[in-house]
Amino acid sequence: MTTTTKPNAIRLSDDVLLSKLADVEQDAETSHSLEDDDNFIFTDVCIAGSGPIAATYASTIIAEHPTAKVLMVEIGSQDSLVAGEHHKNTIKFQKDIDSFVHVIKAALQPISVPPSDSYIPTLGGDAWAPKVNETLITEGHNPHQNPKTNLRASAVTRTVGGMATHWTCSCPVPDAEERKENPIENLDDLLDEAKTLLNVHSDQYDCSIRHTVVKEALLKAYPNRGITNLPLAVERRKDNPDYVTWTGTHRILEKALESDRFTLLTETRFTRLVLHQQKPGEISAAKIRDLRNNRDKYVLAKAFIVACGAVVDSIPHDPRFAERAEEHKKKYPNDPIPIPFNDPEPQIMIPYTKDFPWHVQVHRDAFSYGDIGPKADSRVIVDLRFFGKQDIVESNQVHFGQPPPTPADGWKPAVTDIYGMPQPTFEVVRYDGDAERDQRMMRDMTDVANVLGSFLPGSAPQFMEPGLALHITGTTRIGVDPKTSVADPNSKVHGIKNLWVGGNGCIPDSTACNPTRTSIAIALKGARSVVNSLPVDDTN
């Protein structure tokens, strides 16, 4: 009997793959010979990341270009049945929002942990511990990070949908002071378009007793602060209005997912970009790695996008709420609170102004409340979150290697994270203007809080860890001047023909309000720039 065997696939070395890539760069016809080589992937657009900004690029390009193929590369896995869906759409979390905090904590991976945080003083004597001057370099530990300049609570979410799988969905429009450095002339139009894309509404909680009572209390106390409903990327369900649907990346990506011109690769690392050897200022390929088998491939594309409680007693007597309160009392005669269990939470905003340069949200979300636990009824709790801003300082930076003592010494190799990518090191210092603004904001927070009720034990006003808001901006800022910005108003990187950036890092201003809507507005303009740069394939 004769048998035949199929040769094992050969995993080519990086040098061999780069050599083949160089041949393609020199001779376009060579690319045809590589189309059956599974070490290479051919597409029109390659996108790093799968969060809302990356999804904006993908969906816009698919919708507005007739033939372009888009490949999206995500280092995380798909953790929901629908790609990128908001995890808070689960009924469990809408019934018990406090339990969602554990989902958020599980989703966030720290970026840069300084050496001091790896020391465990209570460790048993027989356990292994780092020696003096030694530090861990796994799980985000960074021996180069100075604790004093770290954004201690900064973290990333590696999953299809990114942080949009657990974000608050707050979508305010930035104040004029929060956009004075933005070079995009039609930003208002793009913000309106972003509103539609994100399905933003401001009226989905008007049915809430709590929302109405809290809002009226604040309006009475602060009639000139512009208090209004918080714009949210959310819509109340028509089949059961007790619940809502929060916008996740799945909504933005919906049309792309339906197209045969869109491909999503999960658990795949976007390792690096390769500059074209024959054409300076142009990217020829992206090196990616399938983390399931550690196999490297090269993506050849025409365009690359790196987007890597005193207010309760009046309720039964208020004619607007009396019927619902009485109905609830009949069902639950022993409940001392006249608010139905299914009453939606409040969603209120005090906007940023010149006199009060911070953004305020009064609502309920997934947070911890000291040691009060189940002793507190969620219906009489509201969260006050005040978002401040920081002055723009050129010396504040993030880098991916150990900085040199002097410029002549050069940069030392970067520490890598658990995925083998260079780990960021922050150098962020706050100055007198930041401290003064923070103190004014804290005074305002206590004043506003006292209008509504008392603080829960263990939940007094406090400044949170730097970076906890996860709204880092300005790292890849857009602008006209290459000396002070990374990319132009179209988000195309200065000096590179076919590379665009996306995300909160593109925002050139110091902002207080949530940045997602602004970042999507910027990405919409960037995506159309990509569309205009791509030829139409007449062969299809």
Q: Which of 193-202, 301-310, 340-349 has the highest mean pLDDT?
A: 193-202
- Domain membership of residue 101 (yes or no) is yes
Cα distances from 345 to residues 43, 179, 341, 430, in angstroms, run 46, 30, 10, 35
Q: Residue 363 forms beta bridges with which residues?
A: 347, 383
pLDDT value at residue 258: 93
Cβ pair 359, 513 in contact under 8 A:
yes
Active-site residue, selected from the candidate residues 89, 142, 182, 514: 514
pLDDT value at residue 325: 84
- Domain membership of residue 540 (yes or no) is no
pLDDT value at residue 141: 81
Average confidence (pLDDT) over 466-470 = 79
**What SS3 class is residue 283?**
strand
* DSSP state letter for 120: -
Active-site residue, selected from the candidate residues 471, 490, 498, 504: 471
pLDDT of residue 461 exceeding 60: yes
Distance CA 160, CA 82 (A): 10
Within 8 A by CB and 6+ apart from 243, the residues are 91, 94, 236, 237
Among 113-122, 181-190, 504-513, where is mean pLDDT lowest?
113-122
317 is catalytic: no
Kindly report, residue by residue over 310-321, the tens digit of the pLDDT: 555 667 777 888
Q: Return the structure tokens found at 472.
A: 């880092």
- Number of domains into which the chain is organized: 1
471 is catalytic: yes
Q: Which of 128-142, 282-296, 363-377, 455-469 has the highest mean pLDDT?
A: 282-296
When pLDDT is cut at 50, 70 and 90, the band that residue 526 belongs to is very high
Kindly report, residue by residue over 169-192, the tens digit of the pLDDT: 999 999 999 999 999 999 999 999
- Domain membership of residue 456 (yes or no) is yes
- Residue found under tokens 């196999």: 295
pLDDT value at residue 454: 80
pLDDT value at residue 372: 44
Distance CA 163, CA 503 (A): 12
Distance CA 270, CA 288 (A): 5
Burial class (CB in 10 A: 0-12, 13-18, 19+), 74: buried
pLDDT value at residue 371: 42
pLDDT value at residue 374: 47
Among 20-24, 319-323, 481-485, where is mean pLDDT lowest?
20-24
pLDDT of residue 3 exceeding 60: no
- Residue found under tokens 């969603």: 347
More confident residue, 133 or 86: 86
Q: What are the φ/ψ torsions at residue 234 (nearest 5 degrees)?
A: -160, 150
Kindly report, residue by residue over 216-225, the tens digit of the pLDDT: 999 999 999 9
- Domain membership of residue 322 (yes or no) is no
pLDDT value at residue 214: 92
Within 8 A by CB and 6+ apart from 127, the residues are none
Bridge pairing between strands 303-306 and 499-501: parallel
pLDDT value at residue 259: 96
Among 63-67, 137-141, 475-479, where is mean pLDDT lowest?
137-141
Q: What are the φ/ψ torsions at residue 81 (nearest 5 degrees)?
A: -60, -40
Neighbours of 405 (CB within 10 A): 7
When pLDDT is cut at 50, 70 and 90, the band that residue 329 belongs to is confident
Distance CA 32, CA 24 (A): 9
More confident residue, 455 or 369: 455
- Domain membership of residue 335 (yes or no) is no
When pLDDT is cut at 50, 70 and 90, the band that residue 427 belongs to is confident
Average confidence (pLDDT) over 244-250 = 96
In the chain, what percentage of residues exceed pLDDT 90? 51
pLDDT value at residue 515: 92
Neighbours of 369 (CB within 10 A): 18
When pLDDT is cut at 50, 70 and 90, the band that residue 16 belongs to is low
pLDDT of residue 242 exceeding 80: yes
Burial class (CB in 10 A: 0-12, 13-18, 19+), 338: buried
Cα distances from 58 to residues 46, 260, 337, in angstroms, run 9, 13, 48
pLDDT value at residue 524: 98
When pLDDT is cut at 50, 70 and 90, the band that residue 468 belongs to is confident
In the chain, what percentage of residues exceed pLDDT 70? 84
pLDDT value at residue 2: 37
pLDDT value at residue 109: 86
- Residue found under tokens 């139009």: 189
- Domain membership of residue 109 (yes or no) is yes
- Domain membership of residue 144 (yes or no) is yes
Kindly report, residue by residue over 72-97, the tens digit of the pLDDT: 999 999 988 889 999 999 999 998 88
For 451, the enclosing helix (H) or strand (E) is helix 432-452
- Domain membership of residue 458 (yes or no) is yes
Boundaries of domain holding 77: 15-117+137-317+344-402+420-532
Here the CATH number for the domain that contains residue 270 is 3.50.50.60
Strand order in the sheet with 295-300: 40-42, 295-300, 283-290, 268-275
Distance CA 282, CA 371 (A): 56
pLDDT of residue 370 exceeding 60: no
pLDDT value at residue 498: 96
